[in-house]
Amino acid sequence: MRAMVCRELTGIGSLRLEDAPTPVPTAGQLQLTVRACGVNFADSLITRGQYQVQPQPPFSPGFEVAGEVSALGEGVTGFAIGDRVIAITPHGGYAEQVAVNVDRCVAMPAAMPWAHGAAFPVVFGTSHIALWHRARLQPGETLVVHGASGGVGLTAVAIGKQLGATVIATASSPDKLAVAREHGADQLIDTSREDVRERIKTLTGGRGADVVYDPVGGELFTASLRSIAFEGRILVIGFAGGTVPQIPANHLLVKNVDVIGLNWPAYAELHSQVMTESFRILLQWYLAGAIRPYVSAMYRLERAVDAIEQVVARKSTGKVVLTMDA
């Protein structure tokens, strides 16, 4: 099978298209013929040896795939050859076939395109568990979403609206803000031109935001901390801006602020019921037409490096997806 393989932890430039051994499913696994794979910022981290659960070379990146069941491991029930599946993988998605634990797989609706299936798990799963389970976002609350035109940002906007919040979207250009508006944002803040702290205060009548969804970090986190409401919650999703913020604990004390971390993949291992229920709700919303993945770019497998570069440079809106078409 063809696969993009990392043989040294020097970054995405080390990825090469190779003929790799086809993975054989062990007990409790499915072998999938991959039709599409989502591209994530973490795909760059794992090629530099900087991911939380780091495999050793050689390996293929890729955390989320959509494909068809091509073989069953011993003891697997509930799936059959040819079934359409969405799967979360520790790595290995940048390949024509992958073996995945059955408890990391969900049935994919027949009406869902392959690109939607591959674009769905990480961004929608992250945003939904963050807002619904961790922050307990309530109808009528105000949600600020930073990086609102990116993969997770757009899903946070859509899910925030689905949960009944007023959504303030921030992004670094008018074009990116227009995409956030199309996905339901009520108010917009251009971080390249406006004072984020003051705009949040103005848009909330001086009260501040109830919940902040922050995949960027750096100065935006500082602005969030200074414009959060009493008993507000700040969700730490990632640090796409490159700077991990330092948190002054006295600020948390003054306003009774919660800073909430999210390691979304950990739910698969440590609290799978939450992830299962989250996917059930999300697929129900998808089938009802309430949410849709926004795939802004698709690349063939051999152009995986270009795809990751687009994500890392924050040049993409929505989701970037690899397809396995030769």
pLDDT of residue 51: 87
- What was the pLDDT predicted at 193? 96
How far are the Cα atoms of 54, 244, 264 from residue 270, in angstroms, in the given order? 18, 25, 10
**CB distance 64 to 118 below 8 Å:** yes
pLDDT less than 70: residues of the chain: 326
What is the rounded distance in angstroms from the CA atom of residue 185 to the CA atom of residue 167? 5
> 65 has which bridge partners?
37, 87
* pLDDT of the residue at 119: 96
- Rounded Cα gap, residues 237 and 213, in angstroms: 7
CA–CA distance, 128 with 264 (Å, rounded to integer): 10
Q: In degrees rounded to 5, what are phi and psi of residue 308?
A: -65, -40
Q: pLDDT for 253-295, tens place per residue?
A: 999 999 999 999 889 888 888 998 999 999 999 999 999 999 9
> Residue 34: helix, strand or coil by DSSP?
strand
Cα 77 from Cα 217, distance rounded (Å):
43
pLDDT for the residue numbered 123: 94
Contact yes or no for 128/281 (Cβ under 8 A): yes
Indicate the CATH number for domain 2-120+293-323: 3.90.180.10
What letters, b where the CB count within 10 A reaches 16 and e where it falls short, cover 89-108?
bbbbbbbbbbbbbbebbbeb
Residues 235-267, buried b or exposed e (16+ Cβ, 10 A)? bbbbbbbeeebeeeeeeeeeeebbbbebebbeb
The pTM of this model reads 0.89
- The pLDDT, as a whole number, for residue 326 is 55
The domain made up of 123-261 is a member of CATH 3.40.50.720? yes
- The predicted pLDDT at position 100 comes to 96
The DSSP result for 259-270, as a single string, is EEE--TTHHHHH
Compute how many other C-beta atoms are within 10 angstroms of the C-beta atom of residue 36.
24
| Domain boundaries defined on the chain | 2-120+293-323, 123-261
pLDDT tens, 201-224?
999 999 999 999 999 999 999 999
